[in-house]
Amino acid sequence: MKRVIGKFQLFRSFLRLLFLQGLLNRRGMQNLGLVSALSPATGKLDDSRDSSMLLKHLSFFNCNPNFTPFVVGGVLKLEEEKRAGKPISDDDIEYFKRALTGPLAAMGDMLFIGNLKPLALTFACIFAIYKLPLGLLAVFLLYNIVIISCRLWGVYLGYTKGWELVDFFSGPEFQKVLSVVEAASAGVGGVLLGILFCRFPQNGHTMLVLAGALTAVTLYLLKRDVPASWVAIILFPTSAFVALLVGQG
């Protein structure tokens, strides 16, 4: 099948997806952002040029913003195949969107909010303890580079695979990615606690007790199903406070 949508149109869709949350609304959630991301390919896919292809995508849509590019790329692929004469209906495309958005929203929240963000914040805590401002900037840049790269890759991968996206995200390869990120988050969290326990005794038994209390509170919050990102946010100012005390000691 001859490709109608070029890399330039896909890149324009990626750029629009950077502002996906800016069009968030109560009625359709991310539907306007989705339509905006699809619009660069309208001239290639809609011969009538009356925006009818976009209007049908104004239904309710909500997904993790970092995984929405996969859906956008897949929808563009299906719309292109439909235009080429393949037996794909509007209902099939709508089913494709609904089949992906739920699982991708859950996996995206788990990957980015539940693991990647705490991982970045924990690194930031470690840099704060050692008074390395440039390290904090590096963590901020690294976190955003990962997100932007995922969004750019998502548009092109979604367009390449189309229907195969469902198998991709349910397959073992993606599950391995989740496992690696979870293991990294847990490992860096352990490093942070180790650093705290090594540095606290230098300031007396009171600080050692405080370290034990901090560990107990962290474990309690995690057992109460408090999101790991919230725990990391709590640890960040605590680590900065520790660095201040250590510097005065």
Q: From the centroid of its chain, how far is CA 34?
A: 17
For residue 89, the SS3 value is: coil
**How many residues does the structure list for the chain?**
249
pLDDT tens string for the chain (249 positions)? 567 788 888 999 999 999 988 888 888 888 898 988 888 887 777 665 556 778 888 888 888 899 999 999 999 998 888 888 888 888 888 888 888 888 888 888 777 877 777 777 777 777 777 777 777 777 778 788 888 998 999 899 889 888 887 777 766 666 666 666 666 666 666 666 666 666 655 555 555 566 666 667 766 766 666 666 666 666 666 655 655 555 555
pLDDT score for 238: 65
Give me the helix-helix angle, 7-17 and 31-38, nearest 10°.
160
Tracing tokens 């069009």 back to the chain, one arrives at: 23
Query: Model's pTM, two decimal places?
Result: 0.72
User: Of 83, 7, 64, 69, which Cα lies nearest the Cα of 38?
Assistant: 69
What's the Rg (C-alpha) of the chain? 23
CB 240 within 8 A of CB 121: no
In angstroms, the CA 131 to CA 141 distance is 18
Buried b (16+ CB within 10 A) or exposed e, 101-114: beebbebbbbbbbb
For residue 198, the SS3 value is: helix
pLDDT score for 105: 85
pLDDT score for 146: 86
And the tokens for 171?
């397959």
